[in-house]
Every structure is written in C-alpha cells, then in structure tokens.
Amino acid sequence: MPQARISMRKAKDLLRMKWSLGLSHRQIAGALSIGPTTVTNCVQRARLAGLESWEVVGALSNEELEARLYPRPPQGRERPEPDWTEVDQELRKKGVTLSLLWQEYKAEHPEGYQYSRYCELYGRWKKRNKLDMRQQYRAGEALFVDFSGLRVPIWKPGGAEVAFEAEIFVACLGASDLIYCCAVRSQKLVDWVESHRRAFEFYGGCAEIVVPDNLKSGVDRPCRYDPEINRTYREMARHYGVAVIPARSGKPQDKAKAEQAVQMIQRWVLAPLRHERFTHVGQLNQAIAPLLTAVNDRPLRVLGISRRELFERVEQTALQALPEAPYEVADWLRYKVGPDYHVEVDRHYYSVPYTLVGKQLEVRLTARVVEFFEGDRRVASHARDFTPGRHTTCAEHMPPAHREHASWTPERIRRWVGRTGPEARRMADEIMASRLHPQQGFRACLGLIRLGKSYGADRLEAACRRALAAGATSYRSVASILKNGLDRQELEPPAEGRTVEHDNVRGAEYYGQEEAPC
C-alpha cells in the first residue's frame, strides 16, 4: 500500500537502522514513531533506487536522497487527470474507498499520480466545489427525516375559515440526496410513522439508518448517549429492518442533509403553493407531487446530474428490500386483567389466560388486531371487535371448571329449560335477551331448571306465566313467586279491562259535556 512520504531526516535514520544496525521493521517503526508499512515502503524505494548500503545513503544530502527516493516525472509529460466528479459518485457506493479507486486509476494509467498526490488533488477538488467532507454517506446508509417548520393551512369548505394547518414531512437519502415530502394532519405518532411508510415506498427500499430529530412522536426521552425511542416507532423500525439513531439535541450538523432538504422544499414546493387554498390534505399532496418531481429532476450544480439520476446510479440498488406487508400503526397501552380473566379495551372485553388475573399487561392495539404482552412474551391475540359491552373469549384461556361450560349455547339452554314447558322456555328467552351477551344469562336459566326440580314442572310453569305477565323476567322473580305460593293464585285480568266505581271518579259522561265559556 503506497504511503505518504516522510521527512528525509527520518528517512536517513530509518535506512541507517536498516542497513547499519540490522533492526527489524517493527523495531524501526517503534523507534521513529511511524507505522511498519511506512518503513517497508521507504526500504522498497531505497532498493529500487539502488541505495542498499548505509555508506551510499550517508554520503547523500537530503535533497539528493529525496530525488532518489521520490523521483519526479520528466518535465513536459502531463499526467492524466481523474474525473473527480465520477470519483466522488463512486465513493458513495457501499464498500468503495479512495484507495481502491486509486488502484483502478493506476491500473489504467501507470504514469498517473501516486496515492498521496491523488488524495491531495481530490481534497482540493472537494474544497473548491464546497462539498462538506464531514458528511459522506455510503449508498443505502442513511435516511434523514424531519418536519418542515412551515405549515400549510387547510380551509373549511367555503374557504371562510382555516380548519387546521397541515404539517410537511421531509425525508432525504444521505448518498444521492433524493428528497421525499408529503403533507399530514399533525406531528402525532400515527402521522409520523405513516409518513415513514410512504417515504420507504417512494424510494422502493429502506436505508440502514433513519436519523430523526428529537421530536416527541419519535423519542420519548432525548439523551446524547442513550435516547429512549418511542415503542411504536421502534417497532416500525424493526418491521422495516432499520436502526433509528436520533440526531443530538442542539446539533443541527448531525442532520444537515435534512436541513438542506427542508430548505429546498420550502423554496421550491411550498412557496409556489402559497396562494392556493386547499380543503383537504389529499388535495395538497396532489399539488405537491409535480413540484417535488421537478426538484429531484433539477441538475445539481457541482455534479451536473439530477438527484434522481444519482439515486438510480448509486443508491437504488443499495437499499434494503421492503417487507412483504407494510407496517400497521399500533398503539401501546397498559391494562389490568379483571377477575373474570378478561381485559376491557375500548369498551370491549377480551380474554387472556386465567393465570394472569390481577396482572398488568401491555396491549398492542391496531385497527384489526388486539395483542396482549407480559414483558416481551405475547400471551393472547384477538381480532379487534368494536362492539361495546361484548366479550371475545378463547376457550384455552378459561380455567378447567369454566371450560366445561364453554360448549353451552343459547339453543342448548333453551332445549333444557323447554323440557319443563313453553312458559319456562319463554322465560329463558327473555332472560338471555335482557343480557348484553346471552352467555351472561346461562346461570339464571340453570337456576330455573333447579326450581323445576324443587317445586315441580307445573308450579314452575305457573310461576313463569305470572312473572312474564308482570314483566318480571328474572330468576329472582320466579323464585320469589314460588316461595310465597303466588303461583297457586289465579292471574287477575289486565288492568285496562276493569272499571273502578268511586264517588271521586267522574265517568265518561262528564267528559262528553260542553265546556262553559270563560
């Protein structure tokens, strides 16, 4: 590996230790505080120049030694100049180094620049073209994301009043600078994560690292050394196989790419739309799309090609493939398991294993699924049901005693009670219909069967008939009628068919008289 030249004073000391003292390259390197490869390089140059003894080297002046070790090319011969723009583009590709590019250059042009001069000229070109050498990213390495500070008003129908101000999400790839942006309703977690999904789909793949700011939607607790990422955001990153590394607080240079992209979007996308009035976010995104395309297709001043061309050449194939299904945004909540081994989530009850009664569980809630976790272990999963007050129960979650009753159905209960008679069956139907869930009336229906065994089928039928006539559709009403012997009494006719005679009752003829004028 070619090395940068050392001073001739050190070169003389090095060759003296080599030819006169016979020290090893590692010993010489330690004595002169240089690398062993630098020693090897200097010795090889000396041998090529015929300087293989200390007597010859010691007789040379520093200028003569330098001319022998580092001979200059003949005057008048021009060395081929590399295409530094192409070199810069190649450096953005994964695994490509300046040393590799120099070796390829020398293989094509043996008379070309040596490595140290090659690096020096490339550095000058970078400085002359004002490219930030501190932010060089490999293709597919980093995606920078942020919200634009500039919002766009969304007007209510009629255009008389602003409904809300839409946020503008901006993303920029590190190597190609290809920009993506979209409008969302807010900076809330759902919009933040959804914007990432859209960005990944726009690029057709994922970078290895996502670099956000320390906004609350993504980072629960900012810290320079160990920031705490929001769980939903972390789960999204795991789904797409990316790592989230937030920029340091108060260090805009960590996300300079995002800052530049935001500035581009504000100037070339949002500013031209400032006179437009939008009534919904979708309409705003439709207006953004062609302006964003124009930004990405505009040639870059230094490289002479557009961001899109640079992306297609350098970065597109370096991105990680998208997963088969997009990430579905989920909320994480904490709930306590009730004594009936069910957890109430959004007014619906879902079962978990009965052994978890009384414990706090984490709940992952999406539009389609409800999942329960004890630590990192998933203990239950159900399809989401939005019916309030109902139960979703899995038989495997029940204790053994309850599992025996899991096979009970409303029809089976009706058949059992119906063996007593039609009135008892009607009572069972009314009891189950009065409950939010038919299973909640099973125990009361079984109580009717027990009453039939204690008092006999005929008395139970009569008691059910009396309770139904009075509108008292419960096990307690039937049991009270039987206990007090009311089932043996005849039912009185409905109150509408009876007239009560009394001195204070006026009668129908009274209301037939004409009213006296006032």
List pLDDT tens digits, range 470-485: 888 888 888 998 888 8
Would you say residue 227 lies in a domain? Answer: yes
- Asked whether residue 192 falls in the same domain as residue 311, the answer is yes
Cβ-based neighbour number of residue 191 at 10 Å: 20
Cα dihedral sign, 145-151-156-159:
negative
The verdict on 147 and 222 lying in the same domain is yes
Residues 202 and 263 grouped into a single domain: yes
Residues of the domain holding 54: 8-69
- What integer pLDDT is reported at residue 287 of this predicted model? 94
Report, as an integer, the average pLDDT of 396-418. Answer: 71
Residue 79 lies in a domain: no
183 shares its domain with 104: no
Could you tell me if residue 513 is inside a domain? no
CA angle centred on 327, ends 184 and 230, rounded to 5°: 75
Model confidence pLDDT, tens digit, residues 457-468: 888 888 888 888
pLDDT band at 404 (very low <50, low <70, confident <90, very high): low
Q: What does the mean pLDDT of the chain come to? A: 82
Which of residues 24 and 510 earns the better pLDDT score?
A: 24
Q: Is residue 512 part of a domain?
A: no
Final residue before a domain boundary, out of 285, 318, 351: 318
Same domain, 115 and 60: no
222 in a structural domain:
yes
Query: What's the pLDDT score for residue 338?
Result: 82
Same domain? 161 vs 288: yes
Q: Say yes or no: 43 and 17 in one domain.
A: yes
What percent of the chain is helix, strand and coil (3-state, nearest 5)?
Answer: 45, 15, 35
Is the pLDDT assigned to residue 510 strictly greater than 50?
A: no
Interacting residues of 428 by C-beta distance below 8 A, sequence separation 6+: 413, 414, 417, 418, 441, 445, 448
Domain total in the chain: 5
Q: Can you tell me the distance from the alpha carbon of 426 to that of 449, in angstroms, rounded to the nearest whole number?
A: 13
Give CA–CA dist 434/444, Å, rounded.
12
Query: Is 310 found in the same domain as 165?
Result: yes
Q: Of the candidates 400, 431, 460, which is a domain's last residue?
A: 400
Same domain for 182 and 95, yes or no, is: no
Backbone φ and ψ for 286, nearest 5 degrees, come out as: -65, -35
**Average of pLDDT values for 80-88?**
82
Is residue 47 situated within a structural domain? yes
pLDDT of res. 74: 58
CA distance 308 to 295: 9
In a domain, 352, yes or no: yes
Least confident stretch, 128-132, 201-205, 500-504: 500-504
pLDDT of residue 240: 92
Is residue 123 predicted with pLDDT exceeding 80? yes
Q: Are both 153 and 227 inside the same structural domain?
A: yes
The pLDDT of 390-419, averaged and rounded, is 74
Highest mean pLDDT among 58-72, 250-264, 393-407 belongs to: 58-72
Task: Look at residue 504 and tell me if it is in a domain.
Answer: no
If asked whether residues 162 and 274 sit together in one domain, one would say yes
Once rounded to an integer, what is the mean pLDDT over residues 192-202? 92
The span from the CA of 461 to the CA of 363, in Å, is: 48
Which pLDDT does position 515 carry in this prediction?
A: 42
Residues 262 and 182 in one domain: yes
**Coil, helix or strand at residue 144:** strand
- Does residue 499 have a pLDDT over 60? no
